[in-house]
Amino acid sequence: MLLFFTESVSCVCLLNTCLRFLPLTKDPGGQPWLWMSREFKRDSQMSGEWVQPGQTLIWAFWVLAATAEGPAADAPVRNTRLGWVRGKQATVLGNDMPVNVFLGIPYAAPPVGPLRFAKPKPASPWNDFQDATSYPNLCLQNSEWLFSDQHILKVHYPTFRVSEDCLYLNIYAPAHADAGSKLPVMVWLPGGAFETGSASIFDGSALAAYEDVLVVTIQYRLGMFGFFNTGDKHALGNWAFMDQVAALTWVQENIEFFGGDPHCVTIFGESAGAISVSSLILSPMAKGLFHKAIMESGVAIMPYLKAPNDERNEDLQMVANICGCNASDSVALLQCLRAKSSKELLSINQRAKSFTRVVDGFFFPREPVDLLTQKSFKPVPSIIGVNNHECGFLLPMKEFPEILEGSNKSLALHLIHSILHIPIQYLYLVGNEYFYNKHSLVDIRNSFLDLLGDVFFVIPGLVTAKCHRDAGAPVYFYEFQHRPQCLKDKKPAFVKADHTDEIRFVFGGAFLKGDIVMFEGATEEEQWLSRKMMRYWANFARTG
């Protein structure tokens, strides 16, 4: 079941009684199908113009001739402000609408050399057609983490290359969409604790086909590559968030060529992706780049997203020592680190865990909690939600698997103290609240996992929802409660709707038939639930 709070965040009701949506419309508007660009210099912005009817035949012949040279003469081609791209078509189960898929479109220059630990720069224009039929590189990460989760989550995707050259996005558009269609745009920010993840493990084909929207999935720098900072003006940090701003800027400038409406952009994400969505709402740098937001299991004020300064300074010195660099001179340190190989820095990345988001004066002018509570942000309509067992299995299995077998009160309180840093003198209050009259190891374990879910997800989500409401924005809060049947042999029976479980429903994983497998063995009821969730998410993107 999927429950939703209304805008007042005070009562709970079934989702379809809380949100009213307009019927879908699939009229592409009868607009001209071909968009071309004027000649431009490499250091200038391209401006576009509609092709006149007399020119259309000439240019259409050129486009068809150029396309026919490739392996698929009917492959979709679209223009952008940097050049033409050639994609491919895909189909999904149960829907006749083909989807145009464009993979690996660059939205920024490769962040290598002098651009490592720096703000993203615009991508360079290209001549001829850029092939957009292959998955882009993953951003540098320990890809073993990404692929080890496939077995547990019952998902599958091909092996991807890993590289610092990774600032790309993928676009999934209904085949009828072209310049002038003005379809709603949904931009997905993937999660993964800001340490792992990829745009390409999420296939937007089903969501695009069934709901007549454009789906964009983006990548951003991770780990040390996305957050390294020197604590001064020479390396401010928050590079991952800067990448996201660059991707959204690209969407504003180019998505109309693919049939999207740049004035109807919804950003959505899960876990670290949802934290990113919440952060973008608070940042003045992202103002005007989107118009609605959906946060699944994450907000910007979740605890422990910012490492203490002493830990960051220790890691900064550790990085300098390993690389043989001077930590006291930021300029020299950056020059040294930028000269290191990706492999060298990736090995350091496994140890330097304190490089996280910072107040840099630009992306975050102040602490996120202050921006939120002081209403120092432009509110947008939003959906915020949690699963009813966020810390049921996936997260505790990685951090403290021993708790999953059961726990006594002593172990539970010890873990609470070490994880949440609650002073010893206050632990009894926590014990009375969550463990009162609980005696069995199973009951204590369940209460402990509920406590973690409340601290990390539920309470920050509710506080954020209240602040958004007080700032004048419509806000809806949901709880996802369904445990996917395909996980019955992968997770213990006590686990309910775990962290990430809703994603396969939002993306219509049961209807995909490509090489990205997101939902094996979905039941008929789960297919129905997935269709409902796709409709709810898309209707919100369409009307707010």
Question: Where a domain ends, among 477, 496, 518?
Answer: 477
Query: For residue 1, what pLDDT is reported?
Result: 53
The answer to the question of residue 337 being in a domain is yes
pLDDT at 524 over 70: yes
**Which one from 468, 499, 502, 526 is the annotated catalytic residue?**
499
Average pLDDT over residues 38-53: 33
Whether 499 is catalytic is yes
Round to whole Å and give the CA distance between 249 and 253: 6
Active site includes 270? Answer: no
Q: Is the residue at 410 inside a domain?
A: no
Task: With respect to residue 178, please indicate whether it lies within any of the assigned structural domains.
Answer: yes
**324: confidence class by pLDDT, cuts 50, 70, 90:** confident
Same domain, 367 and 460: yes
Comparing 57-71, 107-121, 210-224, 302-316, the range with the smallest average pLDDT is 57-71
- Shared-domain flag, residues 330 and 252: no
Tens of pLDDT, residue by residue over 146-157, are 777 787 888 988
Residue 390 clears pLDDT 60, i.e. is over it: yes
The pLDDT mean for the chain works out to 86
Tally of structural domains, the chain: 2
> What phi and psi values does residue 317 have, to the nearest 5 degrees?
-70, -40
**pLDDT digits over 33-44, tens only?**
223 332 223 333
Q: Note whether 312 and 291 are same-domain residues.
A: no
Instruction: Kindly name the residue from 211, 390, 502, 526 that is annotated as catalytic.
Output: 390
- Domain shared by 207 and 293, yes or no: yes
In this structure, are 108 and 129 located in the same domain?
Answer: yes
Last residue of one domain, picked from the residues 458, 477, 496? 477
Same domain, 315 and 239: no
Q: Are 158 and 136 in contact (CB under 8 A)?
A: no
For residue 436, is it within any domain?
no
167, two tokens = 């600032």
Is 329 inside a domain boundary? yes
Answer whether residue 45 shows pLDDT above 60: no
Average pLDDT over residues 380-388: 98
pLDDT band at 108 (very low <50, low <70, confident <90, very high): very high
d(CA 320, CA 336): 9
Tell whether 271 and 321 lie within a shared domain.
Answer: no
Which SS3 state, helix, strand or coil, does residue 452 take?
helix
Please report whether residue 154 resides in a domain: no
Q: Between these two residues, 527 and 39, which has the higher pLDDT value?
A: 527
pLDDT digits 0-9 by tens, 417-438: 888 888 888 888 998 999 999 9
Q: What percent of the chain has pLDDT over 90?
A: 68
Question: 54 pLDDT exceeds 70?
Answer: no
CA-wise closest residue to 155 among 383, 392, 394 = 394
Q: Is 514 within a domain?
A: no
Tell me what pLDDT residue 497 has: 96
Query: Does residue 93 surpass a pLDDT of 80?
Result: yes
CA angle 393, 396, 401 (to 5 degrees): 100
Q: What is the pLDDT of residues 212-251, one digit of tens each?
A: 999 999 999 999 999 999 989 999 999 999 999 999 999 9
Q: Which of 198, 200, 205, 271 is catalytic?
A: 271
Residues 267-316 have pLDDT tens digits of 999 999 999 999 999 999 999 999 999 999 999 999 888 888 888 888 89
Residue 220 and residue 323 share a domain: no
pLDDT value of position 152: 82
> In which domain, by residue range, is 313 found?
307-355
**Angle (CA) 400 405 410, round 5°:** 70
**Same-domain check for residues 315 and 228:** no
Q: Which of 294-298, 350-354, 514-518, 522-526 has the lowest mean pLDDT?
A: 350-354
CA distance 372 to 142: 33
Give the whole-angstrom CA distance, residue 333 versus residue 328.
Answer: 8
Q: Which helix (H) or strand (E) holds 337?
A: helix 330-338
Span of 340-344, 470-474, 503-507 with lowest mean pLDDT: 340-344
Considering the domain architecture, whether residues 52 and 93 belong to the same structural domain is answered as yes
* Domain-located, residue 508: no
What's the CATH number where 80 sits? 3.40.50.1820
Q: 338 and 273 in one domain?
A: no
Q: What pLDDT is recorded for position 3?
A: 55
Q: Are residues 221 and 276 in the same domain?
A: yes
pLDDT at residue 534 in the model? 98
Q: What percent of the chain has pLDDT over 70?
A: 86
Res. 2: pLDDT tops 60: no
Residue 271 appears among annotated catalytic residues: yes
Q: Is the pLDDT of residue 73 over 70?
A: no
pLDDT band at 383 (very low <50, low <70, confident <90, very high): very high
